[in-house]
Amino acid sequence: MALKLSKSEIRALRQICRQDGTVSGLAAKLGAKESFMSRVLRSLGEKGLVGVKKDGVKKTVQLSVASHAQNFKLLSDSRPDAKIEGWLSGFAMDILVVSEDGAETNLILEETGCTAATLYKTLKSLLSAGVLLWKNGRVEITDGLLKKFVASYADNIQLIAQRNAKGFNTSIRIRKNVVLRTDAKNVPPYFTQTGLSALAKNGLEAMLTSYDDFYFNLDGQKRELSPEESFIHALLLTTLQQHQDMPVLAIFFAKNKRRLDLGAIKKLAKKYMVEGALEEIRRETEFHEKMKGFE
């Protein structure tokens, strides 16, 4: 599943925000073939934005009650005459999700995978729509309704993506990146193992646990992870667990820090916003090394 919304999806969604409709009715109103409209509505359904109400043989497409669908309606209603599809389609949603809490353009390029030309073209379109601030290489969403939709859209795509991991799950999303801790035995194919179990498989000295950690990106593309990123993912998750795994991670760091790229770890800590937790690990490691001198 991708974050991207097409112009056809946005037009159909706006029409459904105004009034429930059938596939044939929506196709007629939007000047599209029924087969094409069926594909558009199927994609919107997979993203949790619309649902189907059945009354006998009649099927009516209606707006989902999910938060991202309702927040889209608020955004659409606030700009009834604006051509939202012109600036919200293509890479716009990827860029906006990365920029949810403000982001530098180099980070947006890294996480969206779009070209610099596409980024600047999309940012200019969003800027013209008056929904963001782009200054000194930093992007921030300034339209409150758009920001609310972007956050709820990413949250719901995350929930849809991880619902096939059936078990006790704890997860956290940083922009398009999601790290999940689960005791599920089966997970979707686009999940990549990370955390301590991944580090142990890479031949590093790591204590195995009863749970597994996985990474996935909201664009649905499987990624290979470095040991440094797997370590940062474990650190990120332990911040959700009242730091209960911090001693384990401190021991791991002390044993393996000479085999890790500390510069990369520092950069990743900033990317995942765990610089404080990494500093805590560093202090604990220094303390243990000093104590060894008294043994």
Q: Which domains does the chain have, with CATH numbers?
A: 7-145 (1.10.10.10), 165-292 (no CATH)
Q: Which residues of 9-24 are buried (b: 16+ CB within 10 A; e: fewer)?
A: bbbbbbbbbeebbebe
C-alpha 42/C-alpha 40 separation (Å) is 5
Q: Look at residues 106, 11, 104, 86 and name the one whose alpha carbon lies nearest to residue 49.
A: 11
Residue 22, token pair as written in the block = 């059938």
Encode pLDDT of 37-78 as tens digits: 999 999 999 999 999 887 777 789 999 999 999 999 999 999
Structure confidence at residue 294 (pLDDT)? 40
Exposed/middle/buried for residue 81 (C-beta within 10 Å: 0-12, 13-18, 19+)? exposed
Residue 156, token pair as written in the block = 């719901």
Residue 192, token pair as written in the block = 């990549």
pTM recorded for the entire structure: 0.90
Structure confidence at residue 1 (pLDDT)? 54
Structure confidence at residue 207 (pLDDT)? 59
Residue 189, token pair as written in the block = 């194919």
Residue 177, token pair as written in the block = 């990146």
* Other CB atoms within 10 Å distance of the CB of residue 42: 12
Task: Say if CB 132 and CB 143 are below 8 A apart.
Answer: yes
Structure confidence at residue 110 (pLDDT)? 94
pLDDT per residue of the chain (295 residues) written in tens, 0 to 9: 578 999 999 999 999 999 998 999 999 999 999 999 999 999 999 999 999 887 777 789 999 999 999 999 999 999 999 999 999 999 999 999 999 999 999 999 999 999 999 999 999 999 999 999 999 999 999 999 999 999 999 999 999 999 888 878 889 999 999 999 888 888 999 999 998 778 877 766 655 666 789 999 998 888 899 999 999 999 998 888 654 677 778 878 888 888 889 999 999 999 999 999 899 888 877 655 554 544 4
C-alpha 186/C-alpha 178 separation (Å) is 17
C-alpha separations of 90 from 6, 64, 84, 293 in Å: 6, 22, 12, 59
C-alpha 167/C-alpha 181 separation (Å) is 10
Radius of gyration of the chain (CA): 22
Structure confidence at residue 203 (pLDDT)? 64
* Other CB atoms within 10 Å distance of the CB of residue 227: 21
C-alpha 20/C-alpha 159 separation (Å) is 25
DSSP codes of every residue in 91-129: THHHHHHHTTT-EEHHHHHHHH---HHHHHHHHHHHHHT
